[in-house]
């Protein structure tokens, strides 16, 4: 391509944007896209959003009885159901953001190929939709935690926010990349489903970090610890599980079976997620010019 100065000053090159940096300028359109997405999703469902409260609620009760009581996991991990659910909320959120952003361009093909708007708006709208679906799960989790004697301090609240931000950064980075791939190769979607299936098991959701540490060779520790979703799950444990009464009794002055030196590792995972987002955005921008004609 020739130097941009060959087009006279005052002329802009159509179809070029500053990517994610432009999104705030388009927030009204973004809100319309989010509304549209929710409308499409709850089309024909009379109870609408109510279902998203019922499902996690029932899920939590089933886990409490089946895993906590029948399998006896409660004996190893106090307040097991809070431990499990606070991790699962993160994994679900990750799956929803990553999965939806991957599909977002193809699903909005009609808009992408007929009219120009910054294409990053679609993945970002998917993040908001995922967040709206996270809220009911968080509400259920908070109720269960309060019943278990949850008394969070500032550090715990900060850990929860950190967990959510970490998850969004990493999932959006992946989603931008796979969302662009998905336009060119439709099987990217299936590939992502496979990754998400594994994601639920590789993070310390059903077991504790100490189980991993006893199996994994010490030299590979760091690989597991740098995986952003592992850190997000552990941060959420700090937020919801640690400040419950049974856990406080068992581990009065430590974080128990959680990863040691958590702030350091979480910080490193944060850096990785930001870098990953930059890479995802770069890939997206590279492939973006082909979206309209490939769809």
Judged by beta carbon, residue 34 or residue 266, the one nearer other proteins is 34
The reply on whether position 211 binds other proteins by CB under 8 A is: no
The reply on whether position 46 binds other proteins by CB under 8 A is: no
Nearest CA to 31 out of 179, 112, 131 is that of 131
Are 169 and 123 within 8 A, CB to CB?
A: no
Judged by beta carbon, residue 75 or residue 114, the one nearer other proteins is 114
The reply on whether position 24 binds other proteins by CB under 8 A is: no
The reply on whether position 218 binds other proteins by CB under 8 A is: no
Judged by beta carbon, residue 18 or residue 289, the one nearer other proteins is 289
Among positions 24, 70, 75, 115, the unique one binding other proteins when judged by CB under 8 A:
115
**Which distant-in-sequence residues (6+ apart) come within 8 Å of 86 by Cβ?**
141, 145, 233, 236, 237, 239, 240, 241
User: What is the pattern of x (binds other proteins, CB under 8 A) and - over residues 185-204?
Assistant: xxxx--x-------------
Name the residue with tokens 């959120």.
Answer: 93
Q: Which two tokens stand for residue 128?
A: 């908001």
Instruction: Tell me the CA end-to-end span of the chain in Å, nearest whole number.
Output: 24
Residue 251, number of CB atoms within 10 A of its CB: 14
CA separation for the pair 58, 270 (Å, rounded): 33
- Give min distance, CB of 2 to other proteins, in A: 6
Interface ranges with other proteins (CB under 8 A): 1-2, 6-8, 10-16, 26, 28-29, 32-33, 35-36, 39-40, 43, 110-111, 113-117, 184-188, 191, 289, 292-294
């Amino acid at each position: 391509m020739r130097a941009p100065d060959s087009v006279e000053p005052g002329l802009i090159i159509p179809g070029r944007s500053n990517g994610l940096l432009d999104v705030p300028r388009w927030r009204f359109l973004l809100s319309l896209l989010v509304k549209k997405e929710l409308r499409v999703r709850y089309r024909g469902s009379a109870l609408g959003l109510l279902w998203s409260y019922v499902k996690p609620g029932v899920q939590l009760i089933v886990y409490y009885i089946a895993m906590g009581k029948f399998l006896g996991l409660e004996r190893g991990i106090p307040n097991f159901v809070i431990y499990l659910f606070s991790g699962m909320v993160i994994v679900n959120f990750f799956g929803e953001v990553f999965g939806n952003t991957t599909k977002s361009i193809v699903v909005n093909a009609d808009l992408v190929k007929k009219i120009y708007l910054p294409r990053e708006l679609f993945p970002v709208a998917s993040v908001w939709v995922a967040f709206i679906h996270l809220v009911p799960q968080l509400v259920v989790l908070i109720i269960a935690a309060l019943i278990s004697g949850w008394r969070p301090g500032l550090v715990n609240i900060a850990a929860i926010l950190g967990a959510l931000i970490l998850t969004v950064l990493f999932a959006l980075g992946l989603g931008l990349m796979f969302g662009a791939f998905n336009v060119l190769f439709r099987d990217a979607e299936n590939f992502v489903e496979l990754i998400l299936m594994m994601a639920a098991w590789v993070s310390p959701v059903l077991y504790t970090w100490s189980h991993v540490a006893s199996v994994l060779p010490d030299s590979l520790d760091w690989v597991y610890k740098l995986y952003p979703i592992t850190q997000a799950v552990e941060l959420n444990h700090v937020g919801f599980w640690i400040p419950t009464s049974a856990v406080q009794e068992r581990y009065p002055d430590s974080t128990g079976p959680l990863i040691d030196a958590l702030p350091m590792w979480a910080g490193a995972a944060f850096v990785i997620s930001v870098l990953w987002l930059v890479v995802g955005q770069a890939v997206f921008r590279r492939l973006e010019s082909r979206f309209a004609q490939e769809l």
